[in-house]
Amino acid sequence: MRAALALLAVLSAIGRVPTMGAFAQTPTKIALRYQRDDERKPPFVQLPLVRRKVADGCALNVGGALLGPTLGMAGSAMIAGKAYKEREVCDLQVDCEAARIPYAVRVVKGEWEAPCLMCACAMVGDLGGAKVAFLDATMNGRYDDYGKDLMAIGGVPYAYPLSRLVVAGGKGFEIELSADGATLMATPCREEWETLDFVSKLGGTLRPTVVVLAREVPGGKDFAALYGTRPGKLPRGRWRLAYAVVGDDIWVEGDPAAEPVNLTAKPGVLAWGAPYSLAPEVVVAQEGRVRTFTPPARLKAPRLDEVVTPGVFVVLPHPPPVLGSAGEKYHGPWTRQDRMGNSLADPGIKSFSVDVVQNGRIANLGYTSWAPWDLSGLVEKIPPYWLSHDIPASGYPGPATVTVAASSPLFGTLRSKPIAIDISK
């Protein structure tokens, strides 16, 4: 008896079994239906973090053979012997355990414009009065990879990692999803709920669109999403920021090492947002590159020129992400990525200043810029490359620090912590 009470106390502490009989109810069996992606309705507008994770050699099994696109003519992709253009959807029958299930993939461009595949279907239904959808993000023909596959709840255009806890229609459910995604077993859970303020600490003019939180549970993680600008309710437990979308298109990656919010017997406040800083990656290289983009003129095509100079240079290989007070990183949307996958959280940032400091004085000062194309008077939002100007440091051997700064219309004045480097000849 004591052992049983001790186990109940442990489970109650992590918010899984707060009351007697939490899982004693009979689960409800819900039939889900297959839905093909037409790109005009949820849940196919996913969190940018997961939308771009497409596979160019995925684990879909079609008739005993793994499916993977090959480059066709004019940038098309050859799938099962047929050519598909970018954004076209290919309908398949894939193997799932002992059955064949309908499946759809979409051809998209990956790095260096190589053809890749993205899941273009979902299993949808209703739970607790709310629309639910489950997506095979791992693209292995199974929908039940918890923590890896995706779910979208309430008909909103954001998907987040699949978990056994689903918050739908203001209620909590423990779910079990079949491998083929056709059957959902749902049991109402009787957890105690508490209010979480996820807005006030963000600061400035920024407002969250969706905030996805995670808590550790035996055997994995629970995920739940909150929407809008008012405090929301979650089951009790220790929750930390996993992902978020701020405004229309800024996506946020939570720090897994951040201190969680402990929702127990009183409301909690999510610590994130202001003050903001930069988190640059700094490399000391044995040669420097300066890239310049010449916009198109009459009868002249645009050009990207690169000048390589030998010597020791301080290099920023990527645009520095914006860092929040809880270690979360702010990124631009995947629709504004350049060909290397870089995107700024604030397109209003036009350049970064780079200070190389030795013995308390600035040994060198340079800048590196993020510039859009100018296509004959029209501004193209996707620059071809991160236009970096490497900072020469050949004349300053020995230890030094690098500080990067920028002015942001959205985040204010941004500055990184000093980063220690060793400049050698």
181, 42, 171, 10 alpha-carbon torsion, rounded to 10°: 60
Instruction: Evaluate whether residue 48 is within a structural domain.
Output: yes
**Strand partners for 106:** 89, 118
403/310 same-domain check: yes
Instruction: Evaluate whether residue 402 is within a structural domain.
Output: yes
d(CA 280, CA 277): 10
35/182 same-domain check: yes
Could you give the 3-state DSSP secondary structure of residue 74? helix
Q: Are 237 and 215 in contact (CB under 8 A)?
A: yes
d(CA 334, CA 46): 11
255/312 same-domain check: no
The H-assigned helical ranges of 85-144 are none
169/197 same-domain check: no
All residues at 6 or more sequence positions from 297 whose CB lies less than 8 Å from its CB, including other chains: none
Parallel, antiparallel or unpaired: strands 193-197 and 268-269? parallel
* Domain membership of residue 360 as a residue range: 278-423
Structural domain ending residue among the three candidates 128, 155, 188? 188
322/244 same-domain check: no
388/414 same-domain check: yes
Residue-level pLDDT at 329: 92
Residue-level pLDDT at 51: 42
Nearest Cα to Cα of residue 108 among 56, 157, 58: 56
Q: Are 165 and 174 in contact (CB under 8 A)?
A: yes
Residue-level pLDDT at 270: 92
Instruction: Evaluate whether residue 221 is within a structural domain.
Output: yes
Q: Measuring CA to CA, how many Å separate 38 from each of 42, 54, 182, 282?
A: 9, 18, 20, 42
206/283 same-domain check: no
Instruction: Evaluate whether residue 17 is within a structural domain.
Output: no
Structural domain ending residue among the three candidates 231, 247, 269? 269
Could you give the 3-state DSSP secondary structure of residue 31? strand
All residues at 6 or more sequence positions from 123 whose CB lies less than 8 Å from its CB, including other chains: 32, 33, 34, 35, 133, 134, 143, 181, 182
Structural domain ending residue among the three candidates 217, 239, 269? 269
As for how many domains the chain has, the answer is: 3
Instruction: Evaluate whether residue 10 is within a structural domain.
Output: no
237/299 same-domain check: no
HEC secondary structure over 220-253 = EEEEEEEECCCCEEEECEEEEEEEEEECCCEEEE
pTM, 2 dp = 0.76
179/56 same-domain check: yes
Residue-level pLDDT at 293: 61
Q: Measuring CA to CA, how many Å separate 311 from each of 331, 370, 390, 395?
A: 32, 24, 11, 9
Is 149 exposed, middle or buried, given 0-12, 13-18 or 19+ CB atoms closer than 10 A? buried
Parallel, antiparallel or unpaired: strands 193-197 and 232-235? antiparallel
- Nearest-Å Rg of the Cα atoms of the chain is 25
Q: Measuring CA to CA, how many Å separate 32 from each of 150, 182, 283?
A: 15, 5, 50
Sign of CA dihedral 214, 216, 217, 220: positive
The beta strands (E) that lie in 324-417 are given as 329-331, 351-358, 361-369, 373-375, 378-380, 391-392, 398-408, 412-415
- The DSSP result for 134-188, as a single string, is EE-TT-SS-S--TTTSEEEETT-S--EE--SEEEETTEEEEEEE-TTS-EEEEEE
- The DSSP result for 254-293, as a single string, is --TTSPPEEESSS-EE---SSS-EE----EEEEEEEEEEE
Residue-level pLDDT at 176: 94
**Chunked in runs of 10, what are the mean pLDDT values of the chain (425 residues)?**
41 39 68 78 44 50 61 62 78 83 79 68 88 87 90 81 85 91 90 87 82 88 86 89 86 90 87 91 76 61 69 78 92 68 78 76 56 41 52 71 88 91 73
257/109 same-domain check: no
108/256 same-domain check: no
326/351 same-domain check: yes
Q: Are 360 and 368 in contact (CB under 8 A)?
A: no
Residue-level pLDDT at 220: 85
Residue-level pLDDT at 200: 85
Residue-level pLDDT at 72: 52
Phi, psi of 187 (to 5 degrees): -125, 120
Instruction: Evaluate whether residue 18 is within a structural domain.
Output: no
Instruction: Evaluate whether residue 61 is within a structural domain.
Output: yes
